[in-house]
Structure 1
Amino acid sequence: MAGSDWAYTLGLGTPQVGALGLRQSAAEARIAAESAIAAGRLGGVELTDVTGLRRVLLDVYASPISRELLHDILRPLDDLGPERALQSVRTLLVYLAREGSLVHAGRELMLHPNGVGYRMRRIRELLGIDLADPDARFAVELACRVRLLGAG
């Protein structure tokens, strides 16, 4: 039974061959739909991530050991409370994805670059991680992506 105010969100998986491929495609479609719903994109068709990044992140998230190791990186942000921790993780991910540009991160976050700079100073202090180190930066970005995947 459906109401007039219902929104249907559909997920599409990648083309696959055989019975196992059908299961894979169905799982991808479910993940695509759930991701769209979690992000607030209701009432449309969501395609599976063709790069495969989301699937890799889901595999990492599914591993309790990997998930805990990555969670440890961001654990100091949890002391800020759930909302501020989530805001900090989003800020950090956007900042890293925009290669440390306060201006570009600010545009995406709809925040003045000085506001991004203030948040990033606080985040750096709490995490105590050198974001100039490529390995540390990669680990932090991976931790942010896995955290946000779990938050959805």
Structure 2
Amino acid sequence: MKINIQQVITELAKPIVEDLNYELVDVEFVKEGANWYLRIYIDKAGGIGIDDCQAVSERISDILDEKDPIEQSYYLEVSSPGLERPLKTERDFIKYKGELVEIKVFQPIDGKKIFEGELVGLIDGKIVINQEGKTLEFEKNKVAIVKRAVKF
């Protein structure tokens, strides 16, 4: 049986991150070139700083050394998900309700693959936005990515 590294790391990291009063946003375990990277994304109200990342990294590094769930060597990175992070969980759709989002779909809809609007929410498996007074719904499984659209 193949072990899902991301799931194992999520289960190990979540209590540590929450104990430090942060939110565990995502865990990635990816190979880039010859190297493997374990990336843990954290967030908190007001944003994440370097000291926050260091505190989480030190605590998670200790538990990873103790449990040793990953066979190959890897680099551990702890960081903020950034302003334009993808919305993935139901909690994300609740948290960012009312904010401007960008939706990219796999297949064009009326010749378009990118849509922008105010997030209404995730309702019955559909991502719902308000675009200039018009409600648009997208089947979640047909959406490549949903992220906050940050305007400067």
TM-score norm. by structure 2 comes to: 0.27
Larger RCO (CA under 8 A, 6+ residues apart)? 1
- Which one has a larger percent helix, Structure 1 or Structure 2? 1
TM-score norm. by structure 1 comes to: 0.27
